Amino acid sequence: MSLQSTKVSITRRGRIARFAPIVAWLPHYDRGWLRADVIAGLTLWGLVVPEAMAYAGIAGLPPNAGLYTLLTALLVYAIFGSSRHLVMQATAATAALLAGTIFSFGVSAADPVRYQAYASALVIVTGLVFLAAALARLGFITQFLSKPVMDGFVTGLAIFVAIGQLNKLFGVERGEGNTLIKLLEIIRQLPEANWVTFAVGASALALLFVLPRLNKQLPAGLVVLFGFIALSWSLDLSGRFGVAVVGVLPAGLPALTWPQIPLLAWAQMVLPAIGILLVAYSEALGVAREFAEKHGYEVDPDQELYAHAFANIASGLFGGMLASGSMSASAVKEGAGARSQVTNLVTWGAALVTVLFLTPLFAPLPEAVLAALIIHAVWHIIVARKLQQVRLVSRTEFWLGALALAGVLLIDVLQGMMIGLVASLLLVIYRSSQPHLSSLGRAPGSADIFADLERHPENQPVPGVLILRLDAPMYYANALTFRRQVNELVAANAPQAVVFDTAAQDALDITSAEVLKGLVQELMHKGITVRAAGVHAPVLDMARRTSLLDAIGDDAIFPTVAEAVQSLGGRP
C-alpha cells in the first residue's frame, strides 16, 4: 500500500472514529480489563432487566417494551457514546414523561395498539430532535437549566411515579387526575384492597431495601424478581388469591415497525420532545461528566447528542421506550468495576438471551413486585434531591424548584416540565438583566491595580474620578439597567470624570451601542469627561460602525484603567 493511500485510510478511519467512538477505542482495548468488564456486565444485567420491565409499567406499556429498549439502547450507546461508564436505558423520568405526553394527546392505555403507536412515534420524534440538536452542535444547551429547578421537577416526577404505582401495590383500580387526586382515590379504595397483593408488594419492597444492607454485592433486584416469580408459581397467587401477574410476554426479537398515527400528531410531538431532550440530556450528561471526571477522561457533549439520537430512533422503530443515561444503572456499573463500554455489550448479550429464551419465566411475576421495584428506584431519587439545602443558599432558586415540583404534582408531568423549563429561562433572563456594576478604587501602594470598593474597602477612590466596571457582558436586555445604575452612581458621587472598564465586554449589539452613545452624550452634556479602558477589538469595531466612537472620541480609548486615570491627571 502506498504512503498516500495509507494516509487516506488513516484519515477516513479518524472521521469514522469521530462519528462512532467504538472504532477508536475497541482496537486498542486493554484485555486486562475484560474480566472486570464481564463481571460488571452480568451484575448490570441483574439490575436493568427488572428495572426495564418496571419502567415499562410507568410508561403504560407491556414489560417487553422495556426489554426492547435495552436491546437497542445498550448496543447503540456502546457504538456511539463517548462515556465509558454511562448506561443508556429507559429511566423512571423518561418513562413518566412518555406516559404523560401520550395522555396529553387523549390516548389511553386501554387501547394498547393505538397507545403503542403514539409511544413509538414520540420516541422517534425525540430521537430526531436529538439528531437536529447534534447537527447544530447544541451540546451546551443544558447549561440553561437551573439545577434547583431540575431538582424540583425530578423530585415531583419521582413522587408522581411512586404514587402512580400504589394501585398495583394494593390491588385496586388506578385513579384519574393529578397526583394528589390519585393518592386520595387510592385511600378511598383501601377497604377494597387485595391484602395478599399488598403483602407480596410490601415484602418485596422491604427486601429491596434490606438485602443491599446485608450484602452490597448481592443483585437485590434479580433476587427479588426471580424469588417472587418462584413464589407466585408455586402458590398459584393469581388463581388462588387474585394477585395480578404480568402474564405471557412475546418471545423473540422485536419487529421493525413504523408507527401509524396522523401527520398532525407527529408535528404536535416536536415541542414536548424538545422538553424531553432538555430533561433527559441534562441528567445523562451530568452523570457522564461525573464519572469522566472521577476516572480522568473527557465526554463530548455533541457526541452524546448523536448517541441519544440514534438510540431513541432505534428504540422507537423496534417498539421500545425513551432511552437516556441512567443514574442508578451507571452507578452500579461503575461500582462493579467496569472499565469500558464492553460492559454494556456484555449486558446487551445477556439481555438478548433473556428476550430470546427467558420471557416465559416472567409470566407468574406479580405486578405488585414490579411496583415495588419502581418505588424502590424512585425513592433514591426523592432522597437525593436536596431542595431544603437549596432554600438555605438561595430562596429564589428554591421557590423556582418548588414551583416545578408543584406543577408536576398538581397539574401533570408535561405541564410541570414546561413550568420548570420556563422557570429556568426566566432565571437566566432575570440574572442577566440585573448585572452588577462595580465602583473601583486603587489598591494601597499600587499604581495600576484597581478593584471593587465594596469588596476591598481598603482601596482608595481616585478623587473626582468614578471608575466603573460591569461584571457581566452588556447586551440589549440589560443595557438600560446599566445606564440607570451609572446615572445613580454619578448622582451620588458628582464626579468630574467617568472611566468605564470594559475588559469583560467581548462584543456589543446595536441596542447596547445606542444606549451607550446616549449615556456618553448625557454625561458630556453635564460636563463630565468620559474615558474607556480595555476595549476589545470587536467592541471597538461595533462602536465605530454605530458612531458610538464618534461620541466618545478616539483619544478617549486607553489600553488600561491606569492609563485612562493618568490621562485625567490622576497620579500614575
Q: Is 153 exposed, middle or buried (0-12, 13-18, 19+ CB in 10 A)?
A: buried
- Mean pLDDT of the residues in the chain: 85
The three cell numbers of residue 346 are 456484555
Judged against a pLDDT cut of 80, whether residue 404 lies above it is answered with: yes
Q: Read off the pLDDT of each residue in 349-355 and give the average, rounded to a whole number.
A: 91
pTM of the model: 0.69
Rounded distance between C-alpha atoms, residue 91 and residue 94, angstroms: 5
Q: Read off the pLDDT of each residue in 475-494 and give the average, rounded to a whole number.
A: 90
Instruction: Output the CA–CA distances (angstroms, integers) from residue 406 to 29, 96, 150, 157, in the order listed.
Output: 48, 16, 13, 10
What was the pLDDT predicted at 145? Answer: 65
Is domain 437-567 annotated with CATH 3.40.50.720? no
Instruction: Output the CA–CA distances (angstroms, integers) from residue 512 to 473, 476, 504, in the order listed.
Output: 10, 5, 14
Judged against a pLDDT cut of 60, whether residue 2 lies above it is answered with: no
DSSP state letter for 452? E
Question: Domain spans of the chain?
Answer: 3-160+247-366+378-429, 437-567
Residue-wise pLDDT tens digits, 265-306: 999 999 999 888 887 887 788 778 778 887 888 889 899 999
Instruction: Output the CA–CA distances (angstroms, integers) from residue 379 to 196, 264, 376, 387, 476, in the order listed.
Output: 23, 38, 5, 15, 44
